[in-house]
Chains A and B, each alone.
Chain A
Amino acid sequence: MRETLTRLRYRYWPDHLLGEILSKRWTETAIPVILLLIVGFALSRSLEHFLSPASLADTARQAGEIGFIGLGMALVVIVGGIDLSVGSIFALSDFCALYLLDVLNWPVPAVVVVTMIVGGLLGAVNGVLIGYLRLRAFITTLITLIIYRSAYDLLIQRYSNAIASAFPDIPSWDFIGGGTVLGIPSVALVYIVIAIFGHIFLTRLRPGWHITAIGGSRRSAYNSGIPVRRTIALCYVASGVLTSIGALFFAARLGTVGGDIGVGLEVIVLTATVLGGITLGGGKGSVVKSMVGVLIVLLVTNGLTAMNARGGVNRMALASILLVAAMVDIRWQKNRTRIISKVYVAPTYHALPPPPPTEIGKGGPFEQNDRLRDVSLIGLGRIEAPEDVILDRNDVLYAGSRHGDIVRFFPPDYERMEVFAHIGGQPLGMAFDKEDNLYVCIGGMGLYRIKPDGTVEKATDETNRSIYSVNDDSRLRLADDLDITDDGLIFFSEATVRYEMDEWPVDGLEARGNGRIICYDTKTGTTHTALRGLKFPNGVAVASDGQSILFAETFGCSIKRYWFAGPKKGAVEIVMDNLPGYPDNINLASDGNYWLALVGMRSPSLDLAWKMPGFRRRMAKRVPVDEWLFPNINTGCVVKFNEQGKILESFWDLKGLNHPMITSMREHRGYLYLGGIANNRIGRFKLDNADPNFVQYDKRWGKSS
């Protein structure tokens, strides 16, 4: 009963999504967005006219003006600084625009351009001081805040009357201040255009990446040749220009130069920036975050004003929000990876029936024996981690190594060894195509092709992205084993889409169907996912009908058959399940049956743990990986089976001294060659009653050597 509940709970509740969602970068934007929606909803319920077009247009105008300043602040904060002088620059730009327009009667385009230049110059003062002279951003902009504000105060003493008495009636100026296009205020439109450009700039253009890089690590950015000083200085210039654009719209809308213009603006903008999720430490942030932050702050302040809160309360609320946002930001940045690593591992319920007996004397096809005891060794101590082995028609033996090489040993004694090709990742399954190209699955890289002359080419490293997957599963993480059909389709397994190759134990701990079978078409060069949701798919072999493949699910302890063509196209059938061990590679035997490596054997303690996901989740959190309960891959065996799912014989090595681990085997001219991913040797075993002329290549491609 309890077990049924556990099974249902883990079957229908997607535990693994939480970690995947949290590890997405957009979750950091999602939280402010949710906050914005909550604030918006609360206000629309408590204020009557909140959602009226007039009110929305008014909010949009303000949001646009502050939004420009927010964009500037976002740039400066992302590059690792801060700009406190925005309020004063705003005031000076406002004055500049109105002075040029009202007192000097300049034309509007000239006013706009010159105001922006003035804003840029004011920002450039900050930029030079901070970027080139390396002053502290905080103190520098605090000083310019005071200086610019004093300048503004002096200027308005002299000119405020002249400005106030002028009533310019210029349509274009009015359009800037209060015009709409299709009901959308002009300022909001311009803001949207600039915001879209800003997003592309920050995420797609080189200078944007430079800015993020400098904010992330100034020294590394410098070391990689980024012009750090100039970029920083330009960010402050941009902040000044963007602030002056905001001021232009403000000037056009209100046309005043009051003493309190821009006072306290830096707090509002800073609150918006931090609240949007732009980290004060630098290196992280986006345009969307800035926009969301501005909207939240504006809604809160406007909402409070509409509810007749006094100015003091308003500022107090803003300051409190800033404090909380900064606090959350710091804690989140510090603990983000830790939290994700804690929730990412999501074990699920995986029940297997009791395994068939393997003990000597109990009978059955898996009864242990010592037939592999006399395996002779090839390349002992000279090769490391040969997961798969393969022989070509000239009897040359190929194997992968963990140094990222394909090495080969030459007959007759397999003493002479050379590096055939260097790829760089751990080679796993291998197969020859008709043209003697060697296709290799490389853990962490994808499917590669090695031509007979040793040139390495990438076949594929991506497939179609699945719609319902949160993690981007288009890149191949752990291509494992492959086989090639007569039509040149390469079916290969990808063991897991959630973990890297060295993290395979975590996938075993989860015991979820994280893996898939992928098909690469050598004729068209396209890749698509054939099957997904498999429990660590591993060995792949084309079946005798040429229309289906046999594949092993390591942690599913089963062999399945998948039809990719013919009348049963798309069907998946179980060939064998409830194996006593973990199946690995599958290869053809000389008598038409198949060899299967059991890389490890099931232990009752892990079988039980697989039925208790909570136990494994806690184990993952509290026990170091070296002490986890693992699938036992120290002992294994080789079995021969047929397509009907019958085990014909098994080969064991009781002590496992000679060849501890078996991940793969390949029959060739009466011998069985054994590979093991944690071994420093290749095994060679003389088969009785095997065809002494059997060469897999010849049999597969109908040639004879």
Chain B
Amino acid sequence: MIAAISEFANRLLGRGEAAITVPSFDGALKPNQALEQADILFECEAPEDVATDGTSLLIADGVRLIRLSGNSATTVRTFERPISALACLPHGGLAVALGGTEVRLYDNTAAETPATAFSQGLHAVNALAPAADGTLIATDGSSLRGVDDWARDLMELGRNGRVLRLDPKTGAVTQLAGGLGYAFGTVASDGDLLVSESWRHRVISIAPDGSRKDLLRHLPVYPSRLSPARGGGFWLTAFAARTQLVEFVLREPAYRRRMIAEIAPEFWVAPRLRSGDSFKEPLQGAHIKTMGVMKPWAPPRSYGLVIRLGADGLPRTSLHSRADGVNHGIAAAVEFGGDLVMIAKGPGRIIKLPLASLGEEARA
């Protein structure tokens, strides 16, 4: 009863859960334009994920799997459905998720037939990571909406993301965690699993016994895929940033319902991977070009961000592409050679920044 009253009062006054506060980019997240200075390695239609086996880069571009060594790109193979996640396994193996509903394991990139395939109960697999015990960890964003329909899942306050363990030996799929607000990205860390929970703006760590703990909370962004960094720590990508308007809309059920029903998804008041393509997109006050310039501090409809986490899981430094930038929608980042290679889904680019240029915090 008291809880119901206080919830009602919160909604009336915009307090507590109803508050639309978004933490500011501060401390290690202080904005810069580092991503705008990145070199373009390769441009393609629909980059989705990137992985490396140490000698070359594998890039998932729609249905194509592309190998990038040096400056030459070769299509390794094409699948019948778009690749939604990619992972290089130890000993030259390859794992791909297709359309979010199927995961295939190959012994090598050229193998004709998959060694193992999982499809049962998979719905929106968006990231794969090898675990130390030889199994494969997959994050399944939503059990209602497909991988490409994540904005709808956000607008419907989706809370059914899962973390799954796929065992290639037995073919078993075990659920390690459920009820997540869009699980998107995972990495193994000392026996624990770090998982990005996008809609709750946090990174959680899941212990082998299944207990969860918040590693990083109150992020001003929607975190996505994780990858290990040399020298300990991780690279955490964020495919979009939160804005007060979106947070407000998330607390307005009637408006969301009608928006989902009446408006095309690309014009929703929701985070996107790219923006500014059409005047039908929602425009916020600070977006108005004044004297011919849109200010970089404008609330970002799309944003580019990679955060370097230390081994303790705390942010050390970050690379940004702000509201007036182009390299938005960074969904994956891996270290390759002396570079950090990232996928900018917004402009459809593979970009790289030399690690040496990123300062002390990014390397330690």
Binding site for B on A (CB under 8 A): 384, 505, 600-606, 608-609, 612, 614-615, 618-619, 621-635, 656, 660-661, 678-681
Contacts and interface: CB of A to CB of B under 8 A. Distances in A.
B259 interface: yes
B264 A604 contact: yes
Contacts of B268: 605
A608 B14 contact: no
Interface of B: 14, 20, 243-245, 248, 252, 254-255, 258-259, 262-264, 267-269, 279-292, 294, 298-299
Given A612-B255, A627-B244, A601 B285 contact: no
Closest 3 pairs between A and B when the two form their complex, measured CB to CB:
A635-B279, A605-B282, A601-B279
B20 A604 contact: no
Contacts of A601: 279-280
B259 A608 contact: yes
5 contacts: A605-B282, A615-B252, A618-B14, A632-B280, A679-B292
Contacts of B284: 626-630
Nearest to A637: B279
The B interface is mostly helix, strand or loop, or mixed, namely loop
B330 to A, nearest CB: 23
Nearest to B252: A615
Contact of A622 (B14, B255, B262): B14
B213 to A, nearest CB: 32
Contacts of B264: 604
Contacts of B294: 634
Contact of A627 (B255, B259, B285, B288): B285
A78 to B, nearest CB: 35
Contacts of B243: 627
B267 A627 contact: no
A240 B298 CA distance: 62
A631 B288 CA distance: 9
Among B252, B262, B285, B292: residue with most chain A CB under 10 A: B292
A505 B279 contact: no
Contact of A629 (B14, B245, B254, B290): B245
Contacts of B286: 626-627
Nearest to B266: A604
Contact of B282 (A384, A606, A612, A656): A606
Nearest to A633: B288
Given A630-B285, A632-B281, 9 more contacts: A505-B285, A603-B282, A603-B283, A618-B252, A627-B245, A629-B282, A629-B283, A635-B279, A678-B291
Contacts of A634: 279, 283, 287-289, 294
Contacts of B292: 660, 679-681
A384 B279 contact: no
Contacts of B280: 601-604, 632
Given A605-B268, A615-B252, A630-B285, A622 B20 contact: yes
A634 B284 CA distance: 11
Given A603-B280, A622-B248, A612 B254 contact: yes
Contacts of B279: 600-601, 603, 632, 634-635
A606 B281 CA distance: 9
A357 to B, nearest CB: 11
B23 to A, nearest CB: 15
B254 A603 contact: no
A623 B291 contact: no
B283 A604 contact: no
Among A601, A614, A627, A633: residue with most chain B CB under 10 A: A627
B291 A384 contact: yes
Given A601-B280, A634-B279, A628 B14 contact: no
Nearest to B299: A627
Nearest to A385: B291
B245 A623 contact: yes
B281 A612 contact: no
A628 B245 contact: yes
A614 B252 CA distance: 10
A609 B267 CA distance: 13
A621 B255 CA distance: 16
Given A608-B262, A615-B255, A629-B245, A603 B288 contact: no
A106 B291 CA distance: 82
A208 to B, nearest CB: 41
A95 to B, nearest CB: 58
Contacts of A680: 291-292
Contacts of B287: 630, 634
Given A605-B259, A660-B292, A630 B254 contact: no
A688 to B, nearest CB: 25
Contacts of A384: 291
A343 B294 CA distance: 31
A30 B287 CA distance: 43
A634 B275 CA distance: 13
Contact of B291 (A615, A618, A633, A679): A679
A632 B291 contact: no
A664 to B, nearest CB: 17
A622 B243 CA distance: 13
B20 to A, nearest CB: 6
Given A608-B263, A627-B243, A660 B282 contact: no
A341 B243 CA distance: 23
A621 B14 contact: yes
A605 B285 contact: no
A634 B268 CA distance: 18
A621 B19 CA distance: 12
A618 B253 CA distance: 13
Given A629-B269, A629-B284, A678-B289, A604 B244 contact: no
A304 B97 CA distance: 85
Nearest to A619: B248
Contacts of A632: 279-281, 283
A337 B126 CA distance: 50
B283 A630 contact: yes
A310 B269 CA distance: 67
A19 to B, nearest CB: 19
B220 to A, nearest CB: 13
Contacts of A629: 245, 269, 282-284
A633 B287 CA distance: 9
Contact of A678 (B252, B259, B282, B290): B290
Among A605, A614, A681: residue with most chain B CB under 10 A: A605
B299 A626 contact: yes
Contacts of B285: 505, 625-628, 630
Nearest to A600: B279
B130 to A, nearest CB: 41
A633 B283 CA distance: 8
Contacts of B267: 603-605
Nearest to A660: B289
A623 B244 contact: yes
A456 B48 CA distance: 63
Given A615-B252, A627-B245, A635-B279, A608 B290 contact: no
Nearest to A384: B291
Contacts of B282: 603, 605-606, 629
B24 to A, nearest CB: 13
B187 to A, nearest CB: 33
Contacts of B248: 618-619, 622-623
A615 B289 contact: no
A600 B288 CA distance: 10
Nearest to B245: A627
Nearest to A611: B258
B343 to A, nearest CB: 26
A39 B302 CA distance: 61
Contacts of B14: 618, 621-622
Contacts of B255: 608-609, 612, 615
Contacts of A635: 279
A608 B269 CA distance: 11
Contacts of B269: 605, 629
A631 B283 contact: yes
B288 A624 contact: no
A681 B289 CA distance: 13
